[in-house]
Structure formats: structure tokens, C-alpha cells
Structure 1
């Protein structure tokens, strides 16, 4: 899991521990729903820890860049501090009876999953994931943008996809130039 970045309060990262300490109950990936009971996968604490590691990796990269380039940015030791694990990480909820918990509404906005099943071209691996290099597939005219970590961490975000879009647009222009040689 990558860490979550948002424009929250001027661009702060989303801190799942902080959310939990404010009363939000974090749960793992939904496994199933049956007879009014939601079941969740184990591994919530590991997913949060993996996100923390990705966040710390970015901090290390940023600090190294600042040092290597002699930039005058002050240290931010608070950025490295984590709140204690909340109860939902140490004692995760693995199933939840919605009626017993008084839950009558669920707003499902936890992420998304790609489905390229409608695209009938030879541009996917055995799992159905796009097979590409920097968004360019082996299938002529098929390109991918907005995928996580396409080229960098920002590839799947509106503010970062432009780098990938420019690369692909430049590639298309170059390919069009090559193709014009083949035309009579």
C-alpha cells in the first residue's frame, strides 16, 4: 500500500493512525458480505505499516535531495513521528454485524480496481493487467495513463499524470513521423 497524500489542510498526508485516534474505525479489505455481516481480511496493521514505510522512503529521498543540493529547508522531525497504534490495528475487526452495530448506510468509497475486460487487444498479461513500458503497449495505438507507479508515485494522480502524458504524446508524434516514411 502506498501512503495517502491529499490536499487536506494544505497538503498533509492522510495519517490513518490519527484518523483512528479521532474515532474513525479502520477495517481491513472487505472479504465478503453475507446475511448482514461484513467480513474483513486480516492484515490491516501490515497495510498501514507498509504505507508508513513508503512514506518514510519518500522522506529519506527528499532529505537526501535537500542535502545533496544544499537547499535551505529546515529539518522537520515531526514528519518522522508516528502516533501509537490504535486499538483497531492491535485488535482488528474481522467481522461486523451491521444491524447489531446500528449501521444502516454504507458509503463505499475505498478505492477502485481496473477492469480492462472490454478492451479486446493483445496488451495485457496473464492476470489481465496492462503490459506496457512507460504506458506504451506492444499493441499499436494502445497507451495507458493514470496507472499507479506508471513512471513515478504521482502517475495515478491528476497533478502527476501530465509527466506520463507528455512522454506518451512525444512518443506518438515520433511514431507518426516514422509512419509517414512508409506512406507512398
Structure 2
């Protein structure tokens, strides 16, 4: 696999080896030994799968306490995926990294603990899969506003008017969320 570092330490784009022929393709999406050899010693406890129509924005979610690291990918459709650094004292605190994940490019995105995470679907019937290092804990979940000017995410859609949940519409600003110390 090829690991691409982003401008934020720990947030990685992962390109798995894909073997294709006239029948289709094969790729490993998770191999504990290979990831450990690449410096990612991870234990996953939960797998999630969401399907969304084009224009849906989910996030920016995080848990504190009980943070989750997430290894995310798309199996159908496309998303613009974002991680925001919420680690107090980090040189990149409040900064974001984003990547387009598609069924075609087969890229994965590693979002470590201590980050808010969200994505915007760029195609109908987008299937988004992610592995988590901690179980979902609704009492610890928080939402950073997707459009917080203090973070300034450059979503790749002009005149963005996303479809969001009621919970996500109540997202807090960076100055109001419980950050990681």
C-alpha cells in the first residue's frame, strides 16, 4: 500500500494495492500486519456503513471522552472527506485536511483520535464504510459546525446548500466544542 501524508500529522491517505483483470479487481482493505508494518498499530472494534444521496453532509462528528480513530472508504459513489484537528496544543489545531474518496480511486482515509470527521457526498447512492477504534457512545458525541468560519473548510461545491440532519444543523463553533487536551 502507498501511504500519503497530509499537512496534518497523523492524518493519512492510504492507497491500497489493487489487482485487476478482465474479471474485475481484488484489494485488501485491512491487514493488521501490513498496517502495523506501516506504523499504524490499530485495533478496530466496530464497522459502520452509511448510504447517502448526492449533497448530503454528515458531520463534523467526534466523541470526547471516548475518541474514535476511523479508517474510512467509499465502495459506491464519491465523497469529499474531512478531518479537523481538535488536539489542544497541536501546531495544526483547528486546521483541516480533506480528500476525495471514490469507488474508482479506492483510496482510504485514516482519521486518528482527536479529530472531528465529516463528509459531503458527491454522487447519489454513495456507500461509505468505516472502521472505528472505539465503540459509538452517544453520550460523548459532539458536532463541530460544518461551516464554522473559524475552521474554513473549502467544500468542493459552489453555493453549497447541503442536506444535513437536525443534530448537525446545531453544530458548535471551534471555540465552543470540547477539545482534546
Whether TM exceeds 0.5 here: the answer is: no
Of structures 1 and 2, the one scoring higher in RCO (CA 8 A, sep 6+) is: 2
Higher helix residue share: 1
The TM-score, its normalising length taken from structure 1, stands at 0.21
Higher strand residue share: 2
